[in-house]
Structure 1
Amino acid sequence: MSRLVTVAHGTRTTAANAVAREVTEAAAAALGVPGTAAYVELHPPLLTDVMAANHDEAVVVPMLLSTGYHVRHDVPEAVALSSAPVALTPALGPHPLLAAAQVERLREAGAEPGQPVTMVAAGSRDVLTGSDLCVARGLLAAAWGGDVRLAVLTGPGRRPADVVRSGDAVSPYLLAGGFFADKAERDCRAAGAALVAGVLGPHPRVVDLVVERVRAALAPAGAPAPARL
C-alpha cells in the first residue's frame, strides 16, 4: 500500500469537512503513508476526481457510519476509475469503536451512568441502513450499560419528537457537525432532552477504526483479523 484515501459524504459546512481531513491525517501518520480526504459530493476533492487521477496502489476507507446508496454504488463506481489497484474497505459503522467514542462524548457532555439515552442518526431510505443502525444502537447500549433508544432524522423510522423523553441524554450518531447535527440538537432539545453530546468528530477511536479497516484490507486472505488498537 502506498496511499490512504478516505471518503466522507461532504457538506457545505467548512468545519464539518475538516473532520475527515483531521482523521485522515492522523490515520495516515499512524500507518506511515500519505493520506487524502475525499468526498462523495458538495466539497472538493471529489472521490471521482481523486480516483480518476490515481496511479498508486491505495486503500479507500468510506467514512460513512452505515451501509447505504453511497457505499454500495457511488464509492465503488468511483474506485473503478483508478488505473492502479485499490482495496475498498467496508463503511466505518457499525462498530464497537464508534460506540466507545459515543460513550466518551456522552460523558464529556455530562451524562450520568444509567441515564437513558436516545441515539439520533441521519437515517436513509436504504433498508440496509436501518439494519446497521439497529446494530449500532445495540453496540451503544452495551457500551453505555443502559437503555438506548433510536431516532432518525430522515427516511423510515421514528423521529426524535416521538422517541426522546424528558431528561434523556442524546448521542448523535454523526461524524461531523452541519445540517443534521444542528437539526438533531434542535429537535431533541424541543422534545425535552437534558443534554446533547457532541458528534463523533476526530475522536481517537475513529482514527483507530480507520487504521483497523486499512490493516484488515491488507491482511493476507485467511489471516486472522488484526487486534483492535
Structure 2
Amino acid sequence: MAIIVLSHGSRHPAAAGAVEELARATEDLTGEVTRAAYLDFTAPTLADAALTLALAGETQATVVPLLFTEGYHARVDVPTVAAEASELTGVDLRVAPVLGTGSDIAALLAARVHDPSAHLVIYSVGSSNAQANAAVERLAVRVGDLTGQSTSCIFATKAAGTPYGLAGVDAQCATHGSAEVLPLFVAPGLLLDLLEPRGVHRIGKTYDGGVPEPLGAALAPIVAARARGGAPGVVHARHSGQVAPVRFPLRGHATSVTVRN
C-alpha cells in the first residue's frame, strides 16, 4: 500500500527538502510508493498527494503523521484533512499512529549521543497541551535510562512553560556545566534555529559551528513501522459517504469518534 508522510509544514527553506528525503528513504526501505504532504505552509497538501497517487492508479494509502505527540494536530487536523482528501480523490486513506515518544524514538535519540559524559537536553517544539509536554518529559527519562546520563527537556515555545528556547538551554548549561542537545524535530525549522543566535558551541563541543541536526531520514524505519500498524490505533477515512470510524491513541488507549463524509 502506498504511503504518505504528512508533515506539519514549516516556513524554513530547508524543511520540505528534509521531509522529501525522509519520504524517499521510506520508499527505499519499504518498496512502497511514498509521497510527502503538509498540513500548512508548504505544498502539496494531503489532497494533492492523494490525487497524485490516484492518477498513478493507487486506490489506497497509509498516512503517517510526522508528529511526536497527540496534540491538536494529531487529534483534530489530521483526521479532518484525511477525510476531506479521501472524499475529494476517491483514495481510501488509512491514518497510522503518530511517530510518538515511545521506546523506538528514545532508542533513535540515544544512538545520536556523542558525549557520554554530557547532560542531555531533549529539545522539542512544545505545546499548550500539558499531556503532550508530559509525553516528551517521559521520553527524556527513557533516553536517560538507555544512556545512563542525566536528561531534561526544554521546549522551544513559551506556551510550554519557562524557561524556553535558547534561554532554557542556557539554563541547563549553567546547571550542569555543559549539555548535549538532542532535537526532537523531523526537519529543520525556525524554532530549531532559535539555538543559533549566540552560537551553539556554548551548548557543547559536539555542535561547534552549527545547530544540532533534526532526525530527518533516520526516522524511516519508524515511519515504516507505523505504516505497518506498529502501534495501537488507526484512522480509516473513507469516501463512501458513510459514517467512518476514526480511532486514534489518546493517553495509551484507543478512542473512537466518527467523521461524517
**Equivalence for 2:254:** none
SS in 2 for 1:208: helix
**Equivalence for 1:202:** 217
1:183 aligns with 2:194: yes
Structure 1 residues 186, 147: closer, same or farther in 2, change over 3 A? farther
**Equivalence for 2:129:** 126
SS in 2 for 1:4: strand
Structure 2: distance between partners of 1:64 and 1:181: 15
**Equivalence for 1:72:** 75
SS in 1 for 2:24: helix
Between structure 1 and structure 2, the one with the greater Rg is 2
2:142 maps to which of 139, 142, 148: 139
Structure 1 residues 138, 44: closer, same or farther in 2, change over 3 A? same
Structure 1: distance between partners of 2:32 and 2:67: 22
Count of residues in Structure 1 that have an aligned counterpart in Structure 2: 212
Structure 2: distance between partners of 1:208 and 1:189: 29
Q: Within 5 Å, give how 1:6-45 maps onto structure 2.
A: 6-45=5-44
SS in 2 for 1:92: coil
1:161 aligns with 2:167: yes
Contact 1:51–1:78 (CA under 8 A) maintained in structure 2: no
Give the number of the structure whose residues are more often strand, by fraction: 2
Structure 2: gaps spanning 5 or more residues? 235-261
Structure 2: distance between partners of 1:129 and 1:92: 13
SS in 1 for 2:101: coil
Structure 1: distance between partners of 2:102 and 2:75: 18
Structure 2: distance between partners of 1:106 and 1:92: 20
1:90 aligns with 2:101: no
1:35 Cα deviation (Å)? Answer: 0.8
Contact 2:50–2:91 (CA under 8 A) maintained in structure 1: no
The RMSD of aligned alpha carbons is 2.6
| TM-score normalised by length of structure 1 | 0.82
Structure 1: distance between partners of 2:195 and 2:126: 12
Contact 2:97–2:229 (CA under 8 A) maintained in structure 1: no
Describe the superposition over 1:147-196 as per-residue Cα deviations: whole angstroms up to 9, x where unpaired: 10111111223325244123111111111112111113447849x52244
SS in 1 for 2:113: helix
Structure 1: distance between partners of 2:107 and 2:198: 24
Structure 2: distance between partners of 1:161 and 1:189: 12
Identity %: 25
**Equivalence for 1:57:** 60
| TM-score normalised by length of structure 2 | 0.72
Structure 2: distance between partners of 1:54 and 1:25: 15
1:131 Cα deviation (Å)? Answer: 2.5
